[in-house]
């Protein structure tokens, strides 16, 4: 691997938390190793997990809680991981352990969505893959889809979308996209945005590189506040929204702005915001055993 002093290196995203670097000849090199763990039956919680392909280009890890009734219909959580659209995976130890814990405590069945990452696959690839996952999940509504756990255990009238950081951005956009598609018959009960990434009116160096076709701060996928409030309100086809921010998170104000924008939009739903004092961005992933997590 070339060093950061190599004159052939044009840019590093980002020096404080290196994810990938660009060479002057146009090559991109990842700086973080991809670590994954296999699906498993967790002996502590009884949560089971398995992987499934999501056509045409993606996949997912599905989590099923321990239950005394194998035919019980459970609320369905669709989870989209963060990582600046560039790193992480449902199959990493961080997200596998987090979803295992979440599924055990909430007693839900969860689908943790994999999506293609920048810089090899620039945005909107992540949005496209997440949308394919939404459609794949919806294909189980008649109880004859390709994944038995979803056919047998998912309550498609109680569907929740959740994500953290970039994944929260994707989750918001999946709700908005669902509003314009009559083929999606999932009934979204809630949207959970944890330490969400949204743009404000300032340019973003990473977004400019990994999403060259976007309009930056004027792109509603990145900055929901830039669209008409009536359009925003009409697109949020869920009943409840919970926005979680952390006091020391560099994205805190973006989450607060989203909350205030939706609250003042005339949206016919309930939105709440929770702020965790003294904590930084996605602290609960790095300190899962702490009381605040």
CA angle 68, 156, 52 (to 5 degrees): 75
Q: Cβ atoms within 10 A of the Cβ of 89, count?
A: 21
Confidence check: pLDDT of 93 > 80: yes
- The reported pTM is 0.95
Confidence check: pLDDT of 4 > 60: no
- β-partners of residue 275 are 245
Confidence check: pLDDT of 269 > 70: yes
Estimate the crossing angle of helix 125-138 against helix 166-179, to 10 degrees: 60
The catalytically annotated residue of 165, 178, 214, 265 is 165
State the pLDDT confidence band at 287, using cuts at 50, 70 and 90.
Answer: confident
The residue-averaged pLDDT of 121-130 equals: 98
pLDDT at 5 (0 to 100): 56
Task: Indicate if 165 belongs to the active site.
Answer: yes
* Structural contact between residues 223 and 200, judged by C-beta atoms closer than 8 angstroms: yes
Confidence check: pLDDT of 6 > 70: no
DSSP secondary structure letter of residue 98: H
State the pLDDT confidence band at 2, using cuts at 50, 70 and 90.
Answer: very low
Taken in order of first residue, the domains within the chain and their CATH numbers are 1-32 (no CATH), 37-285 (3.40.50.1820)
State the pLDDT confidence band at 184, using cuts at 50, 70 and 90.
Answer: confident
In 3D space, the residue among 247, 236, 137 whose CA is nearest the CA of residue 180 turns out to be: 236
């Amino acid at each position: 691997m070339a060093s950061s002093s190599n004159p052939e290196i044009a840019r590093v995203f980002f020096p404080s938390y290196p994810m990938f670097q660009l060479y002057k000849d146009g090559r991109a090199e990842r700086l973080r190793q991809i670590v994954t763990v296999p699906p498993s039956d967790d002996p502590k919680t009884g949560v089971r997990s398995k992987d499934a392909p999501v056509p045409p280009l993606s996949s997912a890890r599905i989590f099923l809680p321990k239950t005394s009734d194998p035919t019980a219909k459970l609320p369905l959580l669709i989870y989209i991981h963060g990582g600046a659209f560039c790193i992480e995976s449902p199959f990493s130890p961080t997200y596998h352990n987090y979803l295992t814990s979440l599924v055990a405590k909430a007693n839900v069945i969860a689908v943790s969505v994999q999506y293609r990452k920048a810089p090899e696959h620039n945005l909107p690839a992540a949005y496209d893959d997440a949308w394919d996952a939404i459609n794949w999940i919806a294909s189980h509504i008649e109880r004859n889809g390709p994944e038995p756990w979803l056919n047998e255990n998912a309550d498609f009238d109680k569907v929740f979308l959740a994500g953290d950081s970039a994944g929260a951005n994707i989750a918001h956009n999946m709700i908005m996209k669902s509003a314009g598609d009559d083929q999606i018959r999932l009934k979204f009960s809630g949207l959970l945005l944890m330490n969400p990434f949204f743009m404000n009116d300032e340019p973003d160096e990473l977004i400019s590189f990994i999403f060259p076709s976007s309009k930056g701060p004027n792109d509603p996928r990145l900055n929901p506040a830039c669209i008409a409030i009536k359009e925003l309100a009409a697109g949020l086809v869920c009943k409840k929204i919970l926005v979680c921010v952390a006091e020391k998170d560099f994205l805190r104000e973006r989450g607060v702005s989203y909350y205030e924008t939706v609250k003042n939009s005339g949206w016919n739903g309930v939105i709440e915001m929770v702020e965790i004092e003294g904590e930084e961005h996605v602290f609960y992933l790095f300190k899962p055993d702490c009381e605040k997590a």
